[in-house]
Amino acid sequence: MSTKRILVIDDEKGFTAMLKLNLESTGKYEVLVENDACNAVATALSFMPHLILLDIIMPNMEGPDVAIALQENPLLEDIPVVFLTATIRSSEVGDQGGRIGGHFFVAKPSSLPILVHSIEENLVMLN
């Protein structure tokens, strides 16, 4: 099985560095980090990821707006987006992460197995 490309769009440098290390150590993924939401579309076009992990609250551009910009590009519209959110309540997604209004969410922090599970679930749906 070939590795899948994951693009992480999140302004927290420390967090994204750790996330990249963890995801790549599973051997399943190649991870690229983009810390500036304004570059999201350009980076996505050059990297062409299989899946995007997108932070919701960022300084220059909010996650949902980034998601819309990605959607509007015909080359990127089919790439699944999983939101990372730090302000989620346990009652909203349980401990597992889940769907709110058609989008996938994973709590930040959630354990690595849960994160990987969400990624895999979204990659499967792609096929």
Q: For residue 47, how many other CB atoms are within 10 A of its CB?
A: 15
Is residue 86 at the binding interface for other proteins, with CB under 8 A as the rule?
Answer: yes
Using the structure block, give the residue that is written with the tokens 């290390």.
Answer: 21
Q: Is 91 in the site for other proteins (CB under 8 A)?
A: yes
Q: Is 19 in the site for other proteins (CB under 8 A)?
A: yes
- Counting contacts by CB under 8 A, is residue 68 touching other proteins? no
Q: Cα–Cα–Cα angle for 5, 53, 105, nearest 5°?
A: 135
- Tokens (6 digits) for 99: 């769907």
Does 112 contact other proteins by CB under 8 A?
yes
Burial class of residue 103, CB neighbours in 10 A (0-12, 13-18, 19+): middle
Nearer to other proteins, 17 or 126 (CB): 17
Segment 46-65, which members bind other proteins (CB under 8 A)? 57
Instruction: Give the footprint of other proteins on this chain (CB under 8 A).
Output: 12, 14-15, 17-19, 21-22, 25, 57, 86-91, 108-109, 111-112
